[in-house]
Each structure stands twice: as C-alpha cells, then as structure tokens.
Structure 1
C-alpha cells in the first residue's frame, strides 16, 4: 500500500472441476515454479488453475493463519509514530445483508497519541505478480465512535520489500481511500498508485498516481489488471486509472489490506476515535486478465460450490520470505 502521498510525500462452469479437488479450508500442497517474466502477457483461457480466493469464513485469527495470512506486528512506518500494529484489530462477523456470509473487519483507533494508536494490517504470501487482483470492500467516511476528521487510509494493495533506497526492482500497486482527505486533497478521495521505487528519508518518490475526489463510502468491487505491460484499476466495473509499463511490477508481491492514520492529519482531540473497514472476499488469477463481471462470476461459482478458500498459485523457487510490514 502506498505509505506516502502520491502528490507528496468465468467462467463459472470451468472452475468447478479444477477447484473442488484443490480447495479446502487449508492451502493446497506447495507447488514450485521459476519466477515469471514480469512483462509477460497473460492469457484468457476458459479455465485457470492458478487462482487465490478467500471468502474470509473464519471464526478466529489463528484459523485464518492456517491459510498463510499474517497480521502485522512490526512497529514503524507508516502512520503515527509509536503506534502499535497487531491482530487485535481483526475480527469476523456475520453479514447483516446476506445471512450465512462472514465478513472480515479491520478496526483501528487513536486518541492522538502514539502510545494509544492502534493500526491494523494483514498480508498473504509474497508470490503474486501479473494477472488480475480483486476484492470486495466496504469503506466508511466517519468513525464509528469519537470525533470525525482524522486522515484515515483504507486500502487494498500489493507490495514487495524495499531492499534499498530507490531499489529498481521494488513493486507496489495500491487502492487507497482517504475518507477525510489528505495528500493534497481537502476532502475524501480515492487514490490508485503504482510504484516504481522510493527513498524514505529524505522522501523521494517515483510512481504514477490517479485520484478521484468524492465519497466512496459503502461496498465496492475493486479490480486491478496487471498484464500486457499495463496496469488498469477498476471500481465497480468502471475504469478508474491506467498506468504504464514503467511502473509494472518486477518483483513478486504479497496481497495486503491495512487501516492507518497519517501522522500529520490527526484532529486536535484526546478523545478516542475508532474507524473500521470491512472485506467480503479477495480474489487473484495469476494467468488471466478478467473484467469485473468475470471476476464476480468466478467468485459466485466458488461460493455456489461452497469453496471458502482456494490457493493454487505456485510458490516461487526458492520459496520467498513473506514479511508483513513496510
């Protein structure tokens, strides 16, 4: 996820036979393959065995960890200095609009001090590169308690570790919703940012970013297509942004969600404020470029077959470490 201001600092029938034998509440047996060419074109066959899907039908964080998810505990950038990161902000609840469906909820809070600020982030394995990424998320414009106005960042993104300042192989692709403005926006706005690289101190950025002001509160299906040397971002089926081959990912990335406060955008109050973001599902196809409609059809087919979790995306060889942090 973009830790800095961009301005500144399917085929339903085809899936069933492939997935039912490969999917369960536990990940598929580890598979190995050599890294892909990051600029390689992906195809659109009638079926695809290289998918990742999670319906977040869990009852506990430990159950979620069995499917290779990690909650961030590493302190530090981004956000409020001294803030705590932990799995305490991750919970599961029944969907009031769809009986039987479970949602994942991230909860972050602050009273304006570092020691009383809780940020939330969770990450999946670092093995994703080209293809289609998608998630159904619920953004909020206001806190569920406490005074409004903090610059809160609500996200869905992919990222690789930064090995050194201005690392030429760094990769990151972000959807970020700023419910109370920030980064040059006076009010709420959605950002899509693709990173070539950066330096933290002093901050130097190299990215392509697109912004749309206005409220995005409520449910949205976010889709990112990474193929043919282009990155295309979609919100509810409408193209939001297109970024060039210059910022196309070069290193395998982890899939992430997080919810955090900007250090410079807190309101002047010592009252505790609590913000939340919900996630219904996340989906990735490693070898297909899919439209929002095709993604939705694939997810519907998996759910109809009662597949709550599927991971048939091979690990890279050798298998990569998957840190959950910056």
Structure 2
C-alpha cells in the first residue's frame, strides 16, 4: 500500500543562462535605440499571444521535444524537478534523468523517458520527476500511455522502485489536498512483495488518509492508464479494465498538477550501479467529461494523424 508521498515539494525555478541574458540585454538596447531612448518614447508593440487551437478543455502532449533544455517544454507548461524533499531518497531529484529519445515501440516514435539510477548509496542516487506547472486540472478524464519496467535497464535487480502517473495538489498542507495515484512497484516495497499496481485516492497527506486497491500482476511493457473523476467518484482503469472506484471524501477537492515520476522507496543493497527506465508515450486530459477508453484512443489517434504534437485548451487556474 502506498505510503505518505511528500515531505517537501520545493520547485526549481528557471534561470537565464549567460548567452540568453546577453541576448535579452542586446534586444533591450536595440529597442531603446530604435525609439530614441527618450522618456516619452512609445512602448514597443506587443505581439498578441497565440490563440489555443484544438477541442476546448483538452490537453494532449506526445512529448516531441529535442531535449530537457528545449524551450518548448517550459512553454507548454512542463518542468523537470530539481528541488529537494521526498518521496523516496530525499534531495536526489535531477534533471539528468529526463530525456526524449526516439522509440520504435511508441506511437509516433518518440517518448518521454524517466531514467532513475542508484548504486545503493544516497550520494549515488538520482530520481526523476516531470510535472505540469499550471495547477489547473480538476475533474474529468486523465489518461496516459506508459511503459513500465519490471527489471532494471542495466545492473542488478531488486530495488524497490515506484513508477507513477498522478495528478496532485501543489501543496501537501492544503486544506483541500487532492491526489490520485497510479503506482507500479515491480519489486514491491513497504513490506509488500511485488509486482503490484496500487491505485490510491487521498484525502489528507499528513496524517495519511486514503483509500486504495492493489492489482497483483506483472505489467512490463506499454499500458494505457486512465483516471475518471466525475460525479462524486473516481474510477481507475488499466487498458480499459476498471480496477477501483473511490467516492465520498476521496475525490478531488481542488485543482492539481499532473506528474510522472520514477523513484526509490529505499536503498536495500549496494551491489553496483543500476538503471531503471519508465517511458511515457502521450498524456491526455479532458475537462469535466467522462471519456471512454475507446474514445480517448480515437482522439489521440486523430492528433497523431493530423501531425498535432501538443494541444492545451484547458482553462487557466
């Protein structure tokens, strides 16, 4: 069963690199010269922000980015966690583990890869998490195509690794804290023996107050994960198979971010370096609608057919 997930979720804020800063200064200097630099000079014309395209109330992203430093990643509302805190091995979050490689097994041929590594020591551990920054996801349908790993990509097996997809409140201390989890534990953890997929709906993080179900099944490979939060209940499904439903107080009460992460519960042995990979093909959200698994895939297929890599018409928080 899932344990309390967060002790601290400090975000890392972007900073300008020196070349980018010089470009900004050069642009400002050029603008000042063109206007004469006087106090009465008219301000430069501002371009109107692009109008979102696509179906209303929809997020879709198939992670066609050139790398973790691709400006489009931040422009599209994603960040790679580099701050401190938990869960897992605290203060080991690193942007090094996020990549966007080609993958012939993925729809469209590209993925978000979450690569976590450890040698069994805190100093030799790097965990990875990629999350949205909009804080504007509440009720409706959440879906993602995720590739779970039952074994490490390299090194000795046996780590208690957690491979996840979940929307969550920005702050653990929030009065209306909300979190809806898919957590795959190929080797179990917290005293359990894997493989297992935990579905967890939270009411409070501290002290923990949640309900859950556990599917004891080996899940290596690609799967479509869906969470439907509508009409006072939350339903979790895997490849169209309903797994668990929560209701009552165990439903979203405030807007959330969407996260993908790959982290270690503990460090059970040293035994040399090992690498664990999770891959995400695409993510989808539809505001305030319960979309069937077949219709989710039909919509995703339509985006791929049209050459659409990204849509976000979800109302801002």
TM tier relative to shorter chain: 0.7 to 0.9
Query: What stretches of structure 2 of length at least 5 have no aligned partner?
Result: 6-48
Distance 2:106 2:189 in 1: 34
For 1:107-146, list aligned pairs within 5 A: 107-124=115-132, 125-146=134-155
- Contact residue 151 and residue 178 of structure 1 kept, 8 A: yes
**Which residue pairs with 1:16 in the alignment?**
none
Q: Which has the higher contact order (CA 8 A, sep 6+)?
A: 1
Q: Which protein is bigger by CA-based radius of gyration?
A: 2
Any idea what SS the aligned residue of 1:295 has?
A: helix
Any idea what SS the aligned residue of 1:222 has?
A: strand
**Which residue pairs with 2:69 in the alignment?**
62
RMSD: 2.0
- What is the CA distance between 1:162 and its match in structure 2? 3.1
Instruction: Give the length in aligned residue pairs.
Output: 270
For residues 149 and 163 of structure 1, do their structure 2 counterparts lie closer, same or farther at Cα, with a shift above 3 Å needed?
A: closer
- Contact residue 72 and residue 122 of structure 1 kept, 8 A: yes
For residues 110 and 120 of structure 1, do their structure 2 counterparts lie closer, same or farther at Cα, with a shift above 3 Å needed?
A: same
Distance 2:107 2:135 in 1: 33
Distance 2:263 2:210 in 1: 21
**Which residue pairs with 2:291 in the alignment?**
290
Any idea what SS the aligned residue of 1:232 has?
A: strand
Distance 1:169 1:286 in 2: 19
Q: Could you give the per-residue CA deviations for residues 183-230 of structure 1, whole angstroms, max 9, x where no partner exists?
A: 34212100000100021xxxx210111101121111000011000000
**Under a length normalisation based on structure 1, what TM-score does the superposition of the two structures give?**
0.78
Distance 2:242 2:107 in 1: 31
**Which residue pairs with 1:217 in the alignment?**
220
Q: Which runs of 4+ in 1 moved over 4 A?
A: 27-30
**Which residue pairs with 1:319 in the alignment?**
none
Distance 2:75 2:314 in 1: 16
Query: What stretches of structure 1 of length at least 5 have no aligned partner?
Result: 6-26, 31-46, 317-326
Q: Is residue 301 of structure 2 the alignment partner of residue 313 of structure 1?
A: no
For 1:155-234, list aligned pairs within 5 A: 155-162=164-171, 164=173, 167-199=174-206, 204-234=207-237
- What is the CA distance between 1:245 and its match in structure 2? 2.8
**Which residue pairs with 1:24 in the alignment?**
none
- Contact residue 127 and residue 253 of structure 1 kept, 8 A: yes
